[in-house]
Structures are given as C-alpha cells and as structure tokens.
Amino acid sequence: MHAAALRIEIRIPEARSLKAKRRVLQSFIADLRNRMSLSVAEVDDHDAWQRSTVGVAIVAATGGELEQRIATVHRMLSERVDLEVLRVGVSHLEDPE
C-alpha cells in the first residue's frame, strides 16, 4: 500500500465573500471526491475570503499508481479557471511493512 497527503494552498480571486468562496471550494472538493474517490477537506484559512488550504488523502496499491493519481490532482487544479494554485505540498506516507 502507498499513500500520500497533499496540502493545496489556493487563492480564489473572484470571491468577494465567504459565500462566494464556499461555492467555488465546494465545487472543487466535490469534483475531486466524485472523479477520483479521494478524501478531501478544507483544513485552514476558513475565514479568509480569497484563500483556502485543502487537504487531500490518496491511497494506491503501487507507487506508480500513487504518482499517477497525484499528477491527476495537479492536472485537475490546472484546469480550474476559478482558482489559482499558490502551493502544493506532498507528503508520502511510509508503509510500516
């Protein structure tokens, strides 16, 4: 088993309220959950209008599959015109075996 945690810091330039931010953020989170079956949550910057930090957990059977899934998340981020990626941090979790 191979696993990774992603910390994605994003900016939502068009958001002028928390309600507008949540609309974009919920769409992005639902997209990741539905298309890739990932565990996703907003983990920081809850009260900032134009910023958010999202945590993503990815588990795969092989290292190659894990890297492919991480690349897919990066591609999905680059396709979004309603948000700007500030930083993506990846932490690979080691298998205890």
Helix pair angle (18-36, 63-79), 10° resolution: 140
The answer to whether the pTM exceeds 0.95 is no
Domains detected in the chain: 2-92 (3.30.70.1120)
* DSSP element (H, E) containing 39: strand 39-44
Could you give the CA distance from residue 55 to residue 48 in angstroms, rounded to a whole number?
Answer: 16
Interval 45-72: pLDDT, tens? 777 888 999 999 999 988 889 999 999 9
Interval 8-32: pLDDT, tens? 999 999 888 889 899 999 999 999 8
User: Do residues 7 and 40 touch, judged by C-beta distance below 8 A?
Assistant: no
